[in-house]
Structure 1
Amino acid sequence: MKRPNPEPCRENDIGKFEIVSRDGAARIGRFYTNHGVVNTPTLLPVINPNIRTIEPRKMWDEFGVECLITNSYIIRNSEELSKKAIDAGVHELLNFPGAIMTDSGTFQSYVYGDIEVEPEEIIEFQKRIGVDIATMLDVFGKPNLDFDQSKKIVEETVSRSEISIKSAEGMLLNGPIQGGLFPELRALSAEQMSSFDFSIHPIGGIVPLMEKQKYPELIKIISSCRHLIPSSRPVHLFGCGHPHLFAISVAMGIDLFDSAAYALFARDDRLIMPWGTEKLENISEWPTASKTFFEYSPEEVKSLPKAERTKILAEFNLEISMKEMARVREAVRNGKIWEYVERKSTEHPSLEIATKILLDCSEDFEFMNWVEESTKIQKSRGILWSKNINKHPYVKAARNMLSNNFEFPKKDVFGNFVEKNKWDIILIHGVQGPWRMKCKDLINKLINKFKNLQILVQTPIGIIPYFLEDLNPFSHINGPSDIWNFNEEDLKFRYNNLAKVHGDSKPNKVVDELIQNGFVQSDLELSDDEIETYFDKYSIISKTALFTQLNFEVAENWLYDSTYLKGGTNRIRNVFDSSGEHILSPRLEDGGISLTVKGAKKLFDYSKDNKCQIPIIKVDEGAVPFVSKGRNVMHGFINSVTGTLRPGMPCLVIDDNDELIAHGVCCCTNSEAIELKKGIAVKIKSGMK
């Protein structure tokens, strides 16, 4: 079936990159070119103009390929190809309507020896044949080079950048990152190459590592430089195209991949599978479903003539590669990229080691900090437990947010003032939530019997206060029952007395044990409604402090006398302050909060006195009329950011006069807010004019 040709992008959008969905550093994006939008992450099949194992037009029509990469070195060195490319353009030469990237011949220099060509010459040739994305002539950095040799390569590549960009005259240009196996050189290369006006940054010199399956070294290279590259530029893992590397690379912020493996493996009768590579001769039944092999058995494929067999195997390899990239994109959209990375890690010992190094962040703490800071903490669905879940960036970010922003109340349920760290603690464990339903009778009994008491809950990823018992991700983990048992490593706070209580325990038996252990008894008796009101108060107070970075004591003073509207399940729907104004609403799906205009205005007032650190974005005056009426804040119209933006968290929007004009939810980090020039930066909930 013929697919329509792409429409050229608007001239002002050419070279821009837009993030449309994300899971931490993993991003679903759009890159704008003269031959349509390239949706990322994606695989760019490598096309040899002389050996078209699969026709490029077929790649566009049947495989959904939006961008491919071909070799300007081969085209330039062939009189026939060169003439046709110059006369008709590279798109006509290859019969491909989408975007075309060319490499510069650097890899051929590595394979065949030095190529005698100046940087300006190779740029000029790529410009003449009409490529969408050209590549400057860098110097290939082999992994076996020593530090001084690798440093010279970095310096030489940097020295060629200015003349290459000048020669490109506005053509989109790749600026490769080199540096061998040396993290400091990769970082230096990333910082210096980022200072030039490149459109994409390939990470080069990695093919020899992948050929020998040295995945830990590959991961270290990415982690040493990825976070130093501007967020407005896609990052290309040059020469990486095997499906089992897609997930971990995308999780680390890689947007583009390329490979000729689909064709090269086919010539050797090898099949690319999501989990590795299989030899055709060893296959009796197809281990995975495919459109390509729908009408063929393995024996029938084996019996085909060599040329026909190579073609069908290449089509299968490309189909599987594109399908795996689709799975990775879905994992990003669903907020499950790290779960997918962990599953994929079992497919190869070297990949498992690489994943462990990454999750342990033993090699590059700065990089994983960058990943955590770009991570949306709360998920909108349940989470499957895994042995490494506590190392996943969103879990670490959630634990850090809670430990850095949570405080115990000043008063217990009876109104008694309790000094910091003088609480008696009941730790409920062994039971999965919702605890408000499963443990309500037990908790109410304990609260009524003892003074100075706080209830905490053990979850598989840390301890949380009972009044945050619906907080995602802590409360929404699915797994075996023993993951809810007590974990002593989570007790990292000071307390007076502590008792561990299984959630299924008999209330009277627990009371007797606590009396024997010195817990202070109460002479008062409260109704279930009074106890529920106490937990409701501190649920709202704690969530407001947690998600808006409002000083906890200020939150207590503001919200202690709030009233609530509840739904049919007795969950709070709306919160009203002491004057009766609707200020916020808890979100039932993830335990977060949504502000109203009144609530946002109050937080803005608190921010003026440094009592609230909610992030504030100042927009360009041209955007004010739209944002103040409820339109989203778009990248390219942001003047400055105060505070720390995190995707999924609330923020405020002001104009040049520091007047509040809207509030909404962040879609970006601080650096992205300034660097990106297209896409949504803040999803506005309400405008204020």
Structure 2
Amino acid sequence: MDTQPPGFSLLAVDPTGARRGRLHLAHGTVETPAFMPVGTQGTVKAMTPEELEGLGAEIVLGNTYHLYLRPGCDVIRVFGGLHRFMHWDRPILTDSGGFQVFSLGPLRRIREEGVEFRSHLDGSRHLLTPERVVEIQEVLGSDVMMVLDECPPHTAEPKYLEQSLERTHRWAVRSLAARTRPELALFAILQGGVNPTLRKRSAEFLRDHPFDGYALGGLSVGEGQELMLATVEATTPHLSADKPRYLMGVGTPEDIVEAVARGVDLFDCVLPTRTARNGLLFTSRGRLAIKHARFERDPRPPDEACECYTCRNYSRAYLRHLYKSREILASRLNTLHNLHYYLELMRRIRAAIEAGTYARFVTEFRHASAGELKD
């Protein structure tokens, strides 16, 4: 593991504003823009670490809230951190768990000290403070740690949004003070709903503090793509150009392609793995619902333009049979394909930015991938 401080190199900027960069972390380098497969509980569902490496994944995401509750810090500490525990020697980013805690509704209570909540597993009481969240992530050995933030609904009243934002800023400063391992990156989280004034205030406040990157939180939570992208576009110009920008929980391939044009570098989402388990595949010509009866005798691969293991070896007919039979292999093969699609999309995005042709790439992508595959 590299004990040098984390860093970010901006290699190219396309005329659209899309950025090509390189994120230097304790367990390796991440080429950006990058997509992080989600491994909430220390595993990307249905995938082995070796399969993820084979797909070209350079970083995965875990979740502090879930790992804190199960198996717990004491267990992971025995193994020297999450990397050894889950058999993954490349970078890991861990969400602070703030979104999960605030999703508990009546099971949690917010106060200045932190968030008190009852476990969704056994009802036990817990208190997560900004300091405790950093401490947990340092035990995990997360290459990128996230500060504790409050994630209010985008429909919250303006006064509450402002109060929540100020509390998130105070928690961010406390997180910086609690950090003891400078080789692990610490990202701040911007909030402010879809209010451009609050988003600008959040960006300007946090960029004046020595965070290693910025995350745009509180988006893709029901506000719709148009409003989400408008908020991103109103925010990124106020962030330091020499730090990475992470759009949390986003999203669809279309969301990613559009957000890259607005200056975003990192993404994560459960969509490719969750939809795979539900029989929905992403292809170069749109989405394919493998359960449809028309694929019962179809000898073609899911995507004839795809070179993933699934498409090189299996037919739509067989994948439909596995899915309808509820075989575990259906989830594995579908997940492998969808993650290959997302990671290959990021490789194509990086190449287009390097060539200075990202606007053309966006136009071609919109035309090729919209809607459901019809044949």
Supply the distance in 1 between the matched residues of 2:13 and 2:32 (Cα, whole angstroms). Answer: 11
Q: Which residue of 2 aligns with 1:322?
A: 343
Q: Which residue of 1 aligns with 2:233?
A: 223
Supply the distance in 1 between the matched residues of 2:102 and 2:233 (Cα, whole angstroms). Answer: 24
- The one of 305, 309, 326 aligned to 1:289: 305
Supply the distance in 2 between the matched residues of 1:340 and 1:141 (Cα, whole angstroms). Answer: 35
Q: Which residue of 2 aligns with 1:90?
A: 82
Q: Which residue of 1 aligns with 2:21?
A: 29
Q: Which residue of 2 aligns with 1:311?
A: 332
Q: Which residue of 2 aligns with 1:684?
A: none
Q: Which residue of 2 aligns with 1:190?
A: 203
SS in 2 for 1:47: coil
SS in 2 for 1:46: coil
Q: CA deviation at 1:49?
A: 2.3
Q: Which residue of 2 aligns with 1:73?
A: 65
Q: What is the TM-score of this pair, normalised by structure 2?
A: 0.84
Is residue 185 of structure 2 the alignment partner of residue 175 of structure 1? no
SS in 1 for 2:10: strand
Within-5 A mapping of 1:112-191:
112-113=104-105, 114=108, 115=117, 116-169=127-180, 170=182, 171-191=184-204
Structure 1 residues 149 and 306: alpha-carbon distance in aligned structure 2, compared to 1, 3 A threshold = farther
| RMSD over aligned Cα atoms | 2.0
Supply the distance in 1 between the matched residues of 2:175 and 2:285 (Cα, whole angstroms). Answer: 39
- The alignment covers a number of residue pairs equal to 336
- The one of 264, 278, 303 aligned to 1:268: 278
Q: Is the 8 A contact 1:234 1:255 kept in 2?
A: yes
Q: Is the 8 A contact 2:304 2:311 kept in 1?
A: no
Q: Is the 8 A contact 1:66 1:98 kept in 2?
A: yes
Higher RCO, 1 vs 2 (CA within 8 Å, ≥6 residues apart) = 2
Q: Which has the larger radius of gyration?
A: 1
| Structure 1: 5+ residue stretches without partners | 1-7, 350-689
Within-5 A mapping of 1:214-613:
214-274=224-284, 276-282=286-292, 283=295, 284=298, 285=300, 286-290=302-306, 291=308, 292-304=310-322, 305-346=326-367
Percentage of identical aligned residues:
24
Supply the distance in 1 between the matched residues of 2:161 and 2:99 (Cα, whole angstroms). Answer: 16
Structure 1 residues 281 and 65: alpha-carbon distance in aligned structure 2, compared to 1, 3 A threshold = same
Which letter does structure 2 place at the counterpart of 1:46? V
Which letter does structure 2 place at the counterpart of 1:153? S
Q: Is the 8 A contact 2:284 2:303 kept in 1?
A: no
> Which sits farther off after the overlay, 188-197 or 50-59?
50-59
SS in 1 for 2:228: helix
Q: Is the 8 A contact 2:43 2:86 kept in 1?
A: no
Structure 1 residues 119 and 281: alpha-carbon distance in aligned structure 2, compared to 1, 3 A threshold = same
Within-5 A mapping of 1:604-623:
none
Q: CA deviation at 1:81?
A: 4.7
Q: Is the 8 A contact 2:61 2:92 kept in 1?
A: yes
Q: Which residue of 2 aligns with 1:105?
A: 97
Structure 1 residues 160 and 337: alpha-carbon distance in aligned structure 2, compared to 1, 3 A threshold = same
Q: Is the 8 A contact 1:60 1:96 kept in 2?
A: no
Q: Is the 8 A contact 1:27 1:255 kept in 2?
A: yes
SS in 2 for 1:176: strand
Q: Is the 8 A contact 2:61 2:93 kept in 1?
A: yes
Q: CA deviation at 1:95?
A: 1.0
Q: Which residue of 2 aligns with 1:420?
A: none
Q: What is the TM-score of this pair, normalised by structure 1?
A: 0.47
Q: Is the 8 A contact 2:42 2:82 kept in 1?
A: no
Supply the distance in 2 between the matched residues of 1:241 and 1:61 (Cα, whole angstroms). Answer: 21
Is residue 221 of structure 2 the alignment partner of residue 208 of structure 1? yes
Structure 1 residues 315 and 125: alpha-carbon distance in aligned structure 2, compared to 1, 3 A threshold = same
Q: CA deviation at 1:84?
A: 3.0
Which letter does structure 2 place at the counterpart of 1:133? V
Q: Which residue of 2 aligns with 1:395?
A: none
- Runs of 4+ off more than 4 Å: 346-349
Q: CA deviation at 1:119?
A: 1.0
Q: Is the 8 A contact 2:281 2:334 kept in 1?
A: yes
Superposed CA deviations along residues 468-516 of structure 1, whole A, max 9, x for unmatched, are: xxxxxxxxxxxxxxxxxxxxxxxxxxxxxxxxxxxxxxxxxxxxxxxxx
SS in 1 for 2:227: helix
Q: Is the 8 A contact 2:42 2:62 kept in 1?
A: no
Structure 1 residues 81 and 307: alpha-carbon distance in aligned structure 2, compared to 1, 3 A threshold = farther
Q: Which residue of 2 aligns with 1:427?
A: none
SS in 2 for 1:208: coil
Which letter does structure 1 place at the counterpart of 2:133? I
Q: Is the 8 A contact 1:9 1:32 kept in 2?
A: no
Which letter does structure 2 place at the counterpart of 1:186? R
Superposed CA deviations along residues 368-405 of structure 1, whole A, max 9, x for unmatched, are: xxxxxxxxxxxxxxxxxxxxxxxxxxxxxxxxxxxxxx
Which letter does structure 2 place at the counterpart of 1:266? A
Q: CA deviation at 1:168?
A: 1.4
Supply the distance in 2 between the matched residues of 1:344 and 1:151 (Cα, whole angstroms). Answer: 38
SS in 2 for 1:19: strand
Q: Is the 8 A contact 1:56 1:95 kept in 2?
A: no
